[in-house]
Amino acid sequence: MFFQSNTALTFFSSLNCVKTFYVATPNTHVMGYVQREKGRLKGWFSRRAVILGGPVIGENATEDEVEELLGKLRKVTKDAIYTEIRCEQDYSAYRHIFERCGFEYQPHLNVKIACDSIADCLSRMDANRRRQIKRAVESGVEVRYARSLDEVSAFYTLLCNHYKTKVRKPLFQWEFFEKIFASGYGRYLLAFKNDRVIGGMLQVSDHETVYDYYACGLDAQYPAESPSVILYWETIIRAIRSTQTTFDTMGAGTPGVPYGVRDFKLRFGGELVEHGRYLHINNTYLYSIGKLYFSIKSIHFLH
């Protein structure tokens, strides 16, 4: 799992915009970071500890070890208003331990796309997706990895506007995007039309999985090119060529709540899974104030 690897720990530890933590027992470990938004007031009410992927629990780990790990996690994140574990795999066997340690389960969906063969992937897609891919290829859209920081900056500009106008969730500062490119730990797959960046995806990966970390595309402005669609398709193709077996799209919203992004991802023939999230509120009073503050500001507190 990339997000709990030494690579991820090294990268996040290099950032000034977050404070990284790591705890372990002999057969378990977990790393994450404490993040806050810019601004004195906004920063005070947005302090949250984020664990991507979920803890690594070895086959020989006992329930006592898992409980010990979660206890250590609570201690190192006590200065954050809340701690959120975003699971990328099934932790249902340990749910009773999480809940005993004060971590409340919250349903959350994800879509994972199998990358077995091009023929099989195409057969699982709906017909409209296949037509969009064909039209995008015929339009002359170019898809390749970013070659310069200027190209990354062009994507970041698109992403900032996307998050400001549509997603309305906090976004990492430029430092994150600049350093992950320079480090080589993440790669930017970009879509170009007439040398203009019209879409992109920041990807991280491990031996088995490629992850859609951040993505956006100018689909309304470039309907023939369908940048978001062609980026997903190119990701699948490249994963197959790299013998990676899974494209993890990193989230599909809450069960029972309509979500257009989920519909978009499912049309690629992926599997809908519910691994959920675990939330521990360290300061109930500040958590309530923070939710109110960010609801007034029309920004999601939990993201």
Interval 149-161: pLDDT, tens:
999 999 999 999 9
- Is 297's pLDDT higher than 70? no
Q: What is the pLDDT of residue 170?
A: 83
Q: What is the pLDDT of residue 132?
A: 97
- Is 292's pLDDT higher than 80? no
The stretch 239-247 carries a mean pLDDT of 98
Q: What is the pLDDT of residue 248?
A: 98
- Is 291's pLDDT higher than 90? no
- Is 250's pLDDT higher than 80? yes
Q: What is the pLDDT of residue 286?
A: 86
pTM above 0.75, yes or no: yes
- Is 277's pLDDT higher than 80? yes
What is the residue-averaged pLDDT of the chain?
A: 94
The model's pLDDT over 81-96, given as tens digits with 9 standing for 90+, comes to 999 999 999 999 999 9
3-state secondary structure the chain: CHHHCHHHHHHHHCCCCEEEEEEEECCEEEEEEEECCCCHHHHHCCCEEEEEECCEECCCCCHHHHHHHHHHHHHHCCCCCEEEEEECCCCHHHHHHHHHCCCEEECCEEEEEECCCHHHHHHHCCHHHHHHHHHHHHHCCEEEECCCHHHHHHHHHHHHHHHHHHHCCCCCCHHHHHHHHHHCCCEEEEEEECCEEEEEEEEEECCCEEEEEEEEECCCCCCCCCHHHHHHHHHHHHHHHCCCCEEECCCCCCCCCCCHHHHHHHCCCCEEEECCEEEEECCHHHHHHHHHHHHHCCCCCCC
Q: What is the pLDDT of residue 36?
A: 84
Q: What is the pLDDT of residue 32?
A: 98
The model's pLDDT over 5-54, given as tens digits with 9 standing for 90+, comes to 999 999 999 999 999 999 999 999 999 999 987 777 677 767 999 999 99
